[in-house]
């Protein structure tokens, strides 16, 4: 990396971990924020602007002044029917397209875009996905991410697209937070029989991939799935969290149909698909470049459990 790096979403789950990784380097780092943040590291330059979906070209050009590389993390990460499709499109697609056009005019060297595996598929799929698998998003979140990827490809700016699966690390919210609360109970859990494997990736691996993507010539113009090479079944995930928590695993099996029944009665088949449906990926593009992860997903789960362990 040669000039300043601008990070959108720097105060989020991935953004804060990325700032930690950049601490102590001589890399000029700019965070795009909506107001002054007192909890960001002192080496971070703060540029204040409005919501990214409201920034016009002049505002983006001001934000991008002197920037060599943009790492675009800002997005609506919550997935659910309570967010209108146009809202996803405004933040996760149109704001990215506007930023890319301004980046072209500003002479930005490269954009690294944190997309999602959901730009490529639904909550589960029976096939093994690679970067060569045709994109087939199934919801508003995934469609917006995929349209943002296409907008970057049209922009003419050198870019790298990263599609992570479920990211495991401290501070994670959403489904992983629910899993942690489930694992942190003392109750025996009937999930040992849930063997369908789902891909995960450690936060450490995501940060390492972002840093490499910002400067590796071989990654220019590429789309890369980010996932640990060893997917895990739901029972294995809970067991790893409980090991980190210092709890006995206490898992047993019952027929999956019985487990699925409460989800069906509640109209939450989507949540059941995330638990019991397969989502296996093969990150071939990064492997072709000799990529080796820095923390396996299973280790990240155990570490996450340890971070929530209560002192006796």
pLDDT tier for residue 79 given thresholds of 50, 70 and 90: confident
List pLDDT tens digits, range 257-283: 888 787 777 777 777 777 788 999 999
Reference 68, options 3, 112, 10; nearest CA is 3
Tens of pLDDT, residues 145-175:
999 999 999 999 999 999 999 999 998 887 7
C-alpha distances in angstroms, 228 versus 72, 77, 85, 104, 201? 22, 21, 30, 33, 5
- 266 falls within a domain: no
- DSSP letter for 9, please: T
Domain count, the chain: 1
Residue 262: inside a domain, yes or no? no
- Structural domain includes residue 236: no
For residue 193, give both structure tokens.
């029989």
Tell me the per-residue pLDDT of 104-126, one tens digit each, with 9 for 90 and over: 999 999 999 999 999 999 999 99
Residue 105: per-residue pLDDT? 98
Please report, to the nearest 10 degrees, the dihedral formed by the alpha carbons of residues 204, 206, 210, 213 taken in order: 120
> If you search the block for the tokens 């703060």, which residue do you land on?
46
Q: Other C-beta atoms within 10 Å of 137: how many?
A: 19
Residue 296 corresponds to which tokens in the numbers above? 């396996």
**Partners of residue 29 on adjacent β-strands:** 5, 44
Establish if 212 belongs to a structural domain: yes
pLDDT for the residue 24? 85
Distance between CA atoms of residues 4 and 69, nearest Å: 7
How many CB atoms are located within 10 Å of the residue 284 CB? 13
Which residues fall within 8 angstroms of residue 144, CB to CB, at 6 or more apart? 85, 88, 89, 91, 92, 93
The reported pTM is 0.94
Q: Please report whether residue 238 resides in a domain.
A: no
Q: Which residues make Cβ contacts (< 8 Å) with residue 21, sequence separation at least 6?
A: 207, 208, 211
Is residue 59 in a domain? yes
The owner of tokens 């105060």 is: 11
CATH code where residue 129 lies: 3.40.50.720
Q: How far is CA 230 from CA 117, 182, 195, 209, 299, in A?
A: 16, 23, 13, 17, 11
Residue 92 CB neighbours (<10 A): 27
Q: How far apart are CA 103 and CA 155, in angstroms?
A: 9
Give the mean model confidence (pLDDT) for residues 66-70. 97
CA dist 275 to 48, 135, 170, 236, 256, Å? 40, 22, 21, 12, 11
- Virtual torsion, Cα 85, 91, 92, 98, nearest 10 deg: 130
The whole domain housing 49 covers: 4-169+201-228+281-294
What values do phi and psi take at 87, rounded to 5? -65, -45
111: helix, coil or strand?
strand
Listed in sequence order, the DSSP H helices in 139-233 are 140-155, 175-183, 203-213
Per the domain annotation, does 127 fall within a domain? yes
pLDDT tens per residue, range 200-253: 999 999 999 999 999 999 999 999 999 999 999 999 999 999 999 999 999 999
Angle between helices 203-213 and 13-22 (to 10 degrees): 60
Residues 6+ apart with CB under 8 A from 139: 79, 118, 122
Do residues 240 and 305 touch, judged by C-beta distance below 8 A? yes
Q: Looking at the predicted structure, is the pLDDT value of residue 1 above 60?
A: no
Are the CB atoms for 153 and 135 separated by under 8 Å? no
In a domain, 110, yes or no: yes
């Amino acid at each position: 990396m040669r000039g300043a790096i601008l990070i959108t979403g720097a105060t989020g789950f991935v953004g804060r971990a990325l700032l930690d990784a950049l601490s102590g380097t001589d890399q000029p780092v700019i965070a795009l924020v909506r107001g002054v943040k007192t909890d960001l590291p002192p080496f971070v330059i703060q540029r204040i602007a409005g919501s990214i979906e409201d920034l016009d070209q002049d505002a983006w050009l001001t934000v991008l002044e002197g920037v060599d590389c943009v790492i675009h993390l800002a997005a609506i990460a919550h997935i659910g029917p309570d967010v209108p499709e146009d809202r996803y499109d405004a933040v996760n697609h149109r704001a990215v397209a506007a930023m890319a056009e301004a980046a072209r005019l500003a002479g930005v060297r490269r954009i690294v875009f944190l997309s999602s595996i959901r730009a490529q598929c639904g909550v589960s799929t029976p096939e093994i996905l690679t970067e060569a698998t045709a994109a087939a998003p199934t919801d508003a979140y995934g469609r917006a991410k995929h349209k943002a990827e296409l907008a970057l490809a049209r922009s003419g700016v050198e870019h790298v697209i990263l599609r992570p699966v479920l990211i495991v690390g401290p501070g994670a919210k959403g489904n992983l937070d629910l899993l942690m609360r489930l694992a942190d109970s003392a109750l025996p859990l009937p999930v040992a029989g849930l063997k369908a494997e789902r891909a995960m990736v450690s936060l450490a691996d995501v940060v390492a991939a972002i840093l490499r993507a910002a400067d590796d010539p071989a990654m220019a113009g590429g789309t890369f799935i980010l996932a640990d090479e060893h997917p895990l079944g739901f029972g294995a995930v809970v067991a790893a969290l409980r090991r980190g928590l210092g709890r006995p695993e206490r898992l047993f099996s019952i027929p999956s149909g019985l487990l699925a029944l409460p989800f069906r009665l509640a109209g939450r088949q989507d949540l059941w698909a995330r638990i019991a449906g397969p989502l296996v990926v093969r990150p071939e593009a990064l492997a072709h470049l000799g990529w080796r992860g820095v923390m396996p997903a299973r280790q990240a789960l155990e570490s996450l459990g340890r971070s929530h362990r209560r002192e006796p």
